[in-house]
């Protein structure tokens, strides 16, 4: 037994180093404690195999450890088995249709932050706050956000089965089958409220900067010079999708994607015209504002001095990269991070509002109450400046 334990200790340590790859192993020397931690992992691995009450599959144990390691990083980290990695490479883009939910990753589940009007999810009664625990019987605990979203999406008319925890119905668990459909609801809305123009962003992935510019021009003669950009619960759309909208309000370099060595991977410039709204701008965000919505908010905050109202945002400001491993498996790892031209980022920490807003209204009235408070405060601040 002792000989087997020593053999497993050595083999598992070598296997960990092999799976991590030569480039990582070469960096372990300068990092104090890294080699000790690898040996500790090997020791734990061996103790479990030798002493657990039931027989343990070493390969399954190692896979579980790798999945746990990656899921502990962020919403985008994941270990992919050889089969999962092959599927990921074969289908780099998700399908065009979905059940009509916008989601972020929570612990072991997807949290619905918005439900598209007129969608199959809306017809089924799904609501913000509900949790998706499984998709087509696939548990989501060890999947990255990108993998989970791919499971949601597909061809129009195809069906997806969701295991949902309905928070508003007393945490009832339900299994629903929904058709995937193309979204048809307006991706934005513009209205004037109490002397403030409000741009409600619904879907950054589908939004048209030209259509937004036309709507802003339409209300320009209504006597309001103040613009509130509402990006609450906007989790669809990447920073690239936000660039077109941001280009209505500013010019020049907007965002840069950098690797851990601070090297520039990609730079996004404003497509123009930059002058669609010359007056003061504010942003309203919440914990469901993620990725592209955060990019837009951060650009407006740093470039146009926009006040940010609401709650801290989700903090999704990195992009994952697939790292191949020798056995055909792979790691999906956040390897590049977005930052504004001024060097500001929102990854992990999110965007902390300049003026937080808390609501004590009933659940169904919270969104309207927060919007009203933001409009009132924004109007009062601008009135003070003008006085």
CATH number among 3.90.226.10, 1.10.3210.10, 3.50.50.60, 3.80.30.20, domain 188-320+334-386: 3.90.226.10
pLDDT range class, residue 13, cuts 50, 70, 90: very low
Alpha-carbon distance of 372 to 313, in angstroms, equals 19
Question: What pLDDT digit, counting tens, does each position of 154-211 carry?
Answer: 999 999 999 999 988 788 999 999 999 999 999 999 999 999 999 999 999 999 999 9
pLDDT for the residue numbered 23:
44
Best CA proximity match to 295, nearest among 343, 345, 333: 345
Best CA proximity match to 249, nearest among 222, 226, 270, 221: 270
SS3 131: strand
Give the distance, in angstroms, between the CA of residue 220 and the centroid of all CA atoms in the same chain: 33
pLDDT for the residue numbered 32:
52
Backbone angles phi, psi at 108, to 5 degrees: 75, 10
pLDDT for the residue numbered 17:
46
Question: What pLDDT digit, counting tens, does each position of 246-270 carry?
Answer: 999 999 999 999 999 999 999 999 9
Q: Using DSSP, how many helices (H) and how many strands (E) does the chain show? A: 11, 17
For the chain, what is the mean pLDDT? 89
Q: Position of tokens 């320009």? A: 220
Bridge partners, 162 (sequence order): 135, 176
Best CA proximity match to 22, nearest among 261, 323, 320: 323
Q: Position of tokens 């990656």? A: 70
Q: Do the beta carbons of residue 337 and residue 345 sit within 8 Å?
A: yes
Is residue 28 over pLDDT 90?
no
Alpha-carbon distance of 16 to 2, in angstroms, equals 21
- The first and second tokens of residue 122, run together, are 């809306």
pLDDT range class, residue 140, cuts 50, 70, 90: very high
pLDDT for the residue numbered 33:
59
pLDDT for the residue numbered 233:
98
pLDDT range class, residue 355, cuts 50, 70, 90: very high
Alpha-carbon distance of 288 to 324, in angstroms, equals 32
CATH number among 3.90.1170.40, 2.30.42.10, 3.90.1150.10, 3.40.605.10, domain 89-179: 2.30.42.10
- Where do the structural domains in the chain lie, given as residue ranges? 2-56, 89-179, 188-320+334-386
Q: Could you give the C-alpha distances from 63 to 66, 78, 100, 328, 381, in angstroms and in order?
A: 5, 11, 33, 13, 55
Is residue 346 over pLDDT 50?
yes
Helix, strand and coil content of the chain, in percent to the nearest 5, comes to 35, 25, 40
């Amino acid at each position: 037994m002792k000989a087997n334990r020593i053999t497993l200790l050595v083999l598992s340590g070598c296997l960990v180093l092999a799976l991590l790859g030569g480039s990582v192993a070469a960096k372990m020397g300068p990092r104090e404690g890294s080699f000790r931690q690898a040996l500790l992992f090997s020791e734990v691995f061996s103790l479990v195999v030798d002493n657990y009450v039931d027989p343990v599959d070493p390969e399954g144990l190692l896979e579980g450890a790798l999945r746990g390691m990656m899921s502990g990083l962020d919403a985008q980290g994941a270990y992919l088995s050889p089969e999962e990695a092959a599927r990921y490479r074969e289908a780099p883009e998700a399908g065009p249709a979905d059940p009509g939910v916008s989601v972020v990753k929570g612990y072991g589940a997807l949290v619905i932050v918005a439900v598209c009007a007129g969608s199959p999810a809306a017809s089924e009664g799904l609501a913000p706050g509900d949790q998706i625990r499984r998709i087509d019987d696939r548990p989501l605990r060890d999947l990255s956000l990108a993998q989970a979203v791919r499971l949601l999406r597909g061809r129009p008319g195809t069906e997806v089965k969701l295991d949902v925890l309905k928070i508003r119905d007393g945490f009832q668990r339900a299994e629903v089958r929904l058709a995937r459909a193309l979204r048809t609801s307006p991706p934005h809305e513009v209205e004037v409220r109490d002397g403030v123009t409000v741009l409600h962003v619904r879907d950054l992935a589908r939004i048209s900067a030209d259509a937004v510019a036309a709507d802003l021009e339409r209300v320009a003669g209504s006597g309001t010079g103040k613009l509130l950009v509402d990006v609450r619960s906007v989790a669809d759309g990447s920073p690239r999708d936000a660039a077109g909208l941001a280009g209505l309000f500013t010019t020049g370099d907007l965002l840069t994607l950098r690797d851990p060595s601070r090297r520039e991977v990609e730079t996004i410039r404003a497509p123009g015209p930059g002058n669609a709204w010359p007056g003061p701008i504010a942003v309203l965000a919440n914990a469901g504002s993620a990725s592209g919505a955060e990019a837009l908010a951060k650009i407006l905050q740093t470039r146009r001095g926009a006040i940010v109202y609401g709650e801290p945002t989700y903090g999704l400001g990195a992009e994952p990269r697939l790292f191949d491993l020798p056995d055909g498996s792979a790691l999906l790892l956040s390897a590049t991070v977005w930052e504004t031209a001024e060097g500001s980022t929102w990854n992990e920490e999110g965007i902390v509002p300049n003026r937080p807003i808390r609501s004590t209204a009933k659940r169904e009235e919270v969104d309207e109450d927060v919007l009203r408070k933001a409009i009132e405060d924004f109007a009062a601040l601008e009135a003070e400046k003008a006085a």
